[in-house]
Structure 1
Amino acid sequence: MTEHTIRDAAALSGWRKSSYSSNEGGSCVEVSDGYHSGVPVRDSKAPQGPALVFPATGWTSFITAVKSGELSA
Structure 2
Amino acid sequence: MGATKGQFNVTMLLERQFGANALGGFALGAEVGRTRVDTSLDGTIDRGGLSLGVYGAGYLAQNLILGGYAV
For normalisation by structure 2, the TM-score amounts to 0.28
Structure of higher CA gyration radius? 2
The structure richer in strand per residue is 2
Bigger relative contact order (CA 8 A; separation at least 6): 1
Q: TM-score if structure 1 supplies the norm length?
A: 0.28
